[in-house]
Amino acid sequence: MQNIKDYISQHKQRFLDELVQLLKIPSISADSAFSQDVLNTADSIKTSLERAGCDLVEIHETDGYPIVYGEKIIDADLPTVLVYGHYDVQPPDPTDLWHSPPFEPVIKPTDLHPEGAIFARGACDDKGQMYMHVKAIEFMVKTHQLPCNVKFMIEGEEEVGSNNLAVYVAKNKAKLSNDIILISDTGMIANDVPSITTGLRGLSYVEVEVTGPNRDLHSGLYGGAVANPINILSQMIASLHDDNNHITIPGFYDKVEELSATERAEMAKAPFDIEAYQKALDIDAVYGEDGYTTNERNSIRPTLDVNGIWGGYTGEGAKTVIASKAYAKISMRLVPDQDWEEITQLFKKHFESIAPKSVKVKVTPHHGGQGYVTPIDTIAYQAASKAYETTFGKKPIPQRSGGSIPIVSLFEQALGSKTILMGFGLDSDAIHSPNEHFGVWNYLKGIETIPYFYKYFTEMSS
């Protein structure tokens, strides 16, 4: 690729300004109060793709938020890369923990990002990483160096399960046909330790409701005599793990892929500093499934976490009440070979079975998706690896991520395509947390690296 460094340094400020504008729109897909903002973000992406040089850009309606589709077809005989990303973001709360408003982006340096990082909800997940691709195509088109065809599919419901994307993909297989799917929605180990994500965990997300008495009761008059839904819910949640922190749902581990000692030894080579990890989180000890390391616990092992719990009086002061209902949002991260719908049913069956007769339990599945493993012996992986090597000066490490991008396995089923995950964020960028940010260096390095993937993938494919 000629002049890419020049192009980036020349347009750096504009690249940043455009992303900042995009980050100002609160496209929170989980909260219907922001639906107009989500729709406005789709329009903004459409305009960006048109300006970047796509020949055709369309907003495709779904039963939920629309999908922005764009394409630049230069030669039907050349390979086609389908870029996927999402323009919706996680809710920013707890907002009081943000040092600057989540939708008023500010750029300031951090220890890991001395050249500055953009602080805003969605800066890294996924507006920032998605927009790298828009700027990369801009460079390739404007400098007449686009070596293959490219299609964009940018959705607005990734943070709430991508339910409508599945329908859309099934209906548009021909339009979306491609040789490889390219996604930047994961991270890398460190700025000086590039890595490519080769595995993703699946997800099953459910909400549970425990109902005791038909109304809130005075805890003095009824305390001790009727089941307290909060106490019961706590007991039920506690019982989902045993003393070794194994999950107790019958059949939960039946299909879990066990890695060989060799594979685990390979994984163990990735640089990891447990002291630094604990210090960064301000915890005195890590915690998890017996028999596995921290990096194994958050990547190759399935987990069960309560993401939210509420019930009774949570306001200021004291209220002596026994609540009628208690609720929890619970998600399970799954590993390859675990089927999310099967796990969801196992959870439902088990959770309902452990409820005492004195309460009623309702389990509502939210959404989910399968895990995924990228083979590293493919042209796509080799091309990506060579691209990182070119711009980072060192070979990237293949790494399993604990996160989930449910649609990756969906793409393989529906489109028969493999996915390559080129992520440029860091785990410490606080995605899904207050003060989410994305390094300016990472943003620009992504824009620089992506065109090389197109180049090498096209060369290796011929």
Q: At 288, is the secondary structure helix, strand, or coil?
A: coil
Handedness of CA 142, 186, 112, 29 (dihedral sign): positive
DSSP class per residue in 177-188: --SEEEE--SEE
Q: Tell me how far, at minimum, the Cβ of 173 lies from a copy of itself, in Å.
A: 28
Q: What is the distance of C-alpha 149 from the center of its chain?
A: 26
Left, alpha or beta for 224 (phi > 0: left; psi -120 to 50: alpha)?
left
Tell me the per-residue interface mask from 398 to 437 with a copy of itself, x by CB under 8 A, - otherwise. Answer: ---xxxx----------------------x--xxxxxx--
Calpha distance 12→46 (Å, rounded)? 21
Task: Output the smallest distance, CB 63 to a copy of itself, in A.
Answer: 15
- Binding a copy of itself (rule: CB under 8 A), the pick from 4, 81, 120, 322 is 322
Tell me the three state secondary structure of residue 300. Answer: coil
The answer to whether residue 316 forms part of the interface with a copy of itself (CB under 8 A) is yes
Among residue numbers 99 through 158, which ones bind a copy of itself (CB under 8 A)?
Answer: none
Interaction residues for a copy of itself, span 341-360 (CB under 8 A): 356-360
Position among 63, 275, 282, 377 found at the interface with a copy of itself (CB under 8 A) = 282
- Dist CA 217 CA 220 (whole Å): 9
Cβ proximity to a copy of itself: between 143 and 324 the closer is: 324
| 374: amino acid identity, one letter | T
CB of 318 to a copy of itself, least distance (A): 5
CB of 37 to a copy of itself, least distance (A): 15
Question: Phi and psi at residue 182, in whole multiples of 5°?
Answer: -115, 125
With tokens 């879990």, the residue in question is 256
Identified binder of a copy of itself from the candidate list 90, 344, 370, 399, rule CB under 8 A: 90
Binding letters toward a copy of itself, positions 183-222, x by CB under 8 A: ----x-------------x-x-x-x----xxxxxxxxxxx
Q: How many residues of this chain bind a copy of itself (CB under 8 A)?
A: 103
Contact residue for a copy of itself among 44, 48, 80, 303 (CB under 8 A): 303
In sequence order, what are the residues at sequence separation of 6 or more whose Cβ sits closer than 8 angstroms to the Cβ of residue 72?
53, 54, 55, 137, 141, 146, 149, 150
Considering only residues 171, 173, 319, 395, which one is a binding residue for a copy of itself as defined by CB under 8 A? 319
The pairing of beta strand 195-200 with beta strand 397-400: parallel
Please identify, using beta-carbon distances, which residue of 191 and 382 lies nearer to a copy of itself: 191
The alpha carbon dihedral of 7, 10, 12, 17 has a sign of negative
According to CB under 8 A, which residues from 27 to 46 bind a copy of itself?
29-32
As measured in angstroms, the least distance from the Cβ of 358 to a copy of itself is 4
Which DSSP letter does residue 92 get? Answer: -
Q: Which stretch binds a copy of itself (CB under 8 A): 134-142, 292-300, 373-381, 414-422?
A: 292-300
Asked if 176 interacts with a copy of itself (CB under 8 A), we say no
286 in contact with a copy of itself (CB under 8 A): yes
Cis peptide before 94 (omega within 30 of 0): yes
